[in-house]
Amino acid sequence: MPKEKLTDKEITTAIAQLPEWKVVDGKLHRAFKFQNFVEAFAYMTKVAIVAEKMDHHPEFFNVYNRVVIDLSTHDVDGISALDLELAKKINTL
């Protein structure tokens, strides 16, 4: 998958198909809430396995039962198709 920075229009069109994702500070952003810390951490582990296979790693933030994920492609200094693909996979977990 080529790493090219997407335009604002491309991003807006794409995130319309990604429930609960939005753009915050130039990154794809989504927050999750779980029953407890163990469920939150287990989810982060599932995301990490998918991300490692894609060689594309998210920014994670975790406190107790909350997980926040931000996606961007550092090589292009913005959001790329790789971020959108990882967001889709995250939504299926």
Q: Is 56 in contact with 90 (CB distance < 8 Å)?
A: no
| Structural domains of the chain ordered from first start | 8-92 (3.30.1360.20)
77-80's contacts with Cβ under 8 Å and 24+ in sequence apart are 77/5, 78/5, 78/6, 78/26, 79/5, 79/6, 79/11, 79/23, 79/26, 79/27, 79/28, 80/3, 80/4, 80/5, 80/6
Quick one: pLDDT at residue 82?
Answer: 96
pTM for this structure?
0.94
Q: According to the model, what pLDDT value does residue 3 have?
A: 82
Per-residue pLDDT of the chain (93 residues; tens, 9 = 90+): 568 999 999 999 999 999 999 999 999 999 999 999 999 999 999 999 999 999 999 999 999 999 999 999 999 999 999 999 999 999 999
